[in-house]
Amino acid sequence: IGATVIDSLDTLYLMELKEEFQEAKAWVEESFHLNVSGEASLFEVNIRYIGGLLSAFYLTGEEVFRIKAIRLGEKLLPAFNTPTGIPKGVVSFKSGNWGWATAGSSSILAEFGSLHLEFLHLTELSGNQVFAEKVRNIRKVLRKIEKPFGLYPNFLSPVSGNWVQHHVSVGGLGDSFYEYLIKSWLMSGKTDMEAKNMYYEALEAIETYLLNVSPGGLTYIAEWRGGILDHKMGHLACFSGGMIALGAEDAKEEKRAHYRELAAQITKTCHESYARSDTKLGPEAFWFNSGREAVATQLSESYYILRPEVVESYMYLWRQTHNPIYREWGWEVVLVSLGEILSDRSRFLRDPRRVQ
């Protein structure tokens, strides 16, 4: 419990919501206990709990955040007890003991590939090299394994070290793996050449085999299933505009302008997924087929669950270009979201079944 509290610590601090921050800090000190039972996602615990605690520590210097982050990181280590060192996706905590990794046929690229930033900091703050060793081994396995056309499939066996199936996506199941590569390069002060090389090699493969332009001129990143493309893009994949913009500066000189334009075009496509929806909020996934572009074609994908990826790309593009269109697009999302909230509140207040 408490994921939202911990994940919000840095936001509360940066927004100078001092009372709320102190309340959250007190909860971490008094109520965030690690002697718990039950299962937890290695990935979610890392990015939300450990990431939140580390951010809070670096912003404030408060020891409670550092200590809790390290102790929680130690609780995750049993997930790496596999023949390859590729961690399994779920850890079960037992009171007073380290957890144990549950069985499972495959590990997910976006999950085991999104540990590097936090685990390097755990080593730096604790002096314990085990955290860094675990994530460096993941890189070693990924560098060694043969990749179809240079692409990284989404599922890998932690037992055999082989790809389980050839499904490639820059959206769900793959997304943050690529994000962590470019951010590892930047976080290292541009010394982590392995991360840099892996990022640009992967981006070149993505551009060669997944990138498409629709008949209407919209640039999108399709999904790849054993050589066959699904001409759709998930909302989660819309972070890629910002990521490509972020990485453009350190690309080969002749590619920098190209990557900046590519980032802008992908972000434009993601904006279109919002503009073409009835609510003006983007769907979970949108397709490019049968003459329809950047729209959801299935009811199961026609929903919005406060995903931030599109607005995140607006922010990166604004910071890089200062083109006011990105601020305008971001403000549109605020206004539409606020309108939906007020509309829901109005319907609630008018509901005769409401408790008086």
Classify residue 207 as exposed, middle or buried by CB count within 10 Å of its CB (0-12, 13-18, 19+).
Answer: middle
Kindly tell me if the per-residue pLDDT of 228 is higher than 90.
yes
Given this model, what pLDDT does residue 93 score?
80
Mean pLDDT across the chain, nearest whole number? Answer: 93
Given this model, what pLDDT does residue 103 score?
47
Q: Where are the domains of the chain?
A: 1-164, 209-355
Over residues 151-168, the mean pLDDT reads 96
Q: Which residues are catalytic?
A: 44, 175, 284, 309
Contact present, 49 and 93 (Cβ < 8 Å): no
Find the DSSP H helices in the chain. 3-7, 9-14, 18-31, 42-44, 51-60, 63-76, 109-112, 116-126, 130-144, 175-187, 193-209, 240-248, 253-275, 309-321, 324-350
Kindly tell me if the per-residue pLDDT of 349 is higher than 70.
no
Domain 1-164 has CATH 1.50.10.10: yes
Contact present, 139 and 194 (Cβ < 8 Å): yes
Given this model, what pLDDT does residue 355 score?
42
Q: What are phi and psi of 215, to 5 degrees?
A: -55, -30
Over residues 262-288, the mean pLDDT reads 98
User: How far is Cα 44 from Cα 48, in angstroms, rounded to an integer?
Assistant: 6
Over residues 249-256, the mean pLDDT reads 98
**What is the band of 99 on the pLDDT scale with cuts at 50, 70, 90?**
very low
Kindly tell me if the per-residue pLDDT of 94 is higher than 80.
no
Q: Is the pTM of this model over 0.75?
A: yes
Write out pLDDT tens, residues 290-321.
Answer: 889 999 999 999 999 999 999 999 999 999 99
The edge-to-edge listing of strands for the beta sheet with 285-289 is 232-234, 285-289, 292-295
Kindly tell me if the per-residue pLDDT of 137 is higher than 70.
yes
Kindly tell me if the per-residue pLDDT of 352 is higher than 90.
no
User: How far is Cα 73 from Cα 50, in angstroms, rounded to an integer?
Assistant: 7
The CA–CA distances, whole Å, from 16 to 52, 59, 60, 242, 291 equal 16, 12, 12, 26, 48
The SS3 of residue 158 is coil
Helices 63-76 and 51-60 meet at what angle, rounded to 10? 160
